[in-house]
């Protein structure tokens, strides 16, 4: 019993570290016209980014956890699929110029990976089709971010819900 309590306390403290000062992206992840949240612990990222919990805004102002996706905050692209459903494509860098384009379907209730394709943006060859595709999807984030990326201590996560103070 003591071991179980110790493990529960350890798990709770680890979750608190992630949400105490999370890195936050605010944008409309499910294309319903309302800004949602993605929360991550930036201290755990590598060059390819990190794991993000995606929270969809509810009618009461809280944000409900829908699922997670692995991405870099400057390498994701969201497009509307239909009312309240979006497709998010992310570039996941693997190293040595290789990576993957991963597409997720995001609704008010879920984040589901739909596909993954090996992708090499060929950053050294500006005229390559893959480089052009990469730039079309992601270059705007460097120039005009569609999200707000900041560290905030004003996010409270309680179970499946997040709120802003």
Q: Which residues pair with 98 in a beta bridge?
A: 95
| Percent of all residues in the chain with a pLDDT value above 90, rounded to a whole number | 46
Residue 111 has pLDDT above 90, yes or no: yes
The token pair at 2 is 């003591």
**Cα–Cα distance between 101 and 63 in angstroms, integer?**
27
pLDDT of residue 4: 35
pLDDT of residue 101: 95
Residue 9 has pLDDT above 90, yes or no: no
pLDDT of residue 11: 38
pLDDT of residue 146: 67
The predicted-structure confidence for 81-107, as pLDDT tens digits, reads as follows: 988 899 999 999 888 788 999 999 999
Within 13 Å and on the Cβ side, how many CA atoms surround 119? 20
Tell me the whole-structure pTM to 2 decimals. Answer: 0.81
pLDDT of residue 21: 60
**Cα–Cα distance between 99 and 101 in angstroms, integer?**
7
The predicted-structure confidence for 41-64, as pLDDT tens digits, reads as follows: 877 887 788 899 999 999 999 999
Per-residue pLDDT, averaged over 113-139, amounts to 88
- The rounded mean pLDDT for the chain is 83
Boundaries of every domain in the chain: 22-164
């Amino acid at each position: 019993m003591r071991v179980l309590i110790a493990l529960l306390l350890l798990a709770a403290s680890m979750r608190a570290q992630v949400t105490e000062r999370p890195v936050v992206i605010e944008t409309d992840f499910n294309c319903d016209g309302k800004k949602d949240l993605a929360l991550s612990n930036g201290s755990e990222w590598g060059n390819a980014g990190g794991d993000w919990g995606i929270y969809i805004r509810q009618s009461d102002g809280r944000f409900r956890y829908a699922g997670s996706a692995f991405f870099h905050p400057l390498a994701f692209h969201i497009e509307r699929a239909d009312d309240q459903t979006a497709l998010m494509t992310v570039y996941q860098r693997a190293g040595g110029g290789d990576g993957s384009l991963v597409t997720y379907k995001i609704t008010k209730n879920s984040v589901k990976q739909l596909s993954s394709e090996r992708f090499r943006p060929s950053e050294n060859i500006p005229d390559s089709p893959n480089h052009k595709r990469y730039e079309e999807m992601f270059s705007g984030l460097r120039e005009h971010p569609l999200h707000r990326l900041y560290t905030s201590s004003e996010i409270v996560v309680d179970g499946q819900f997040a709120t802003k103070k």
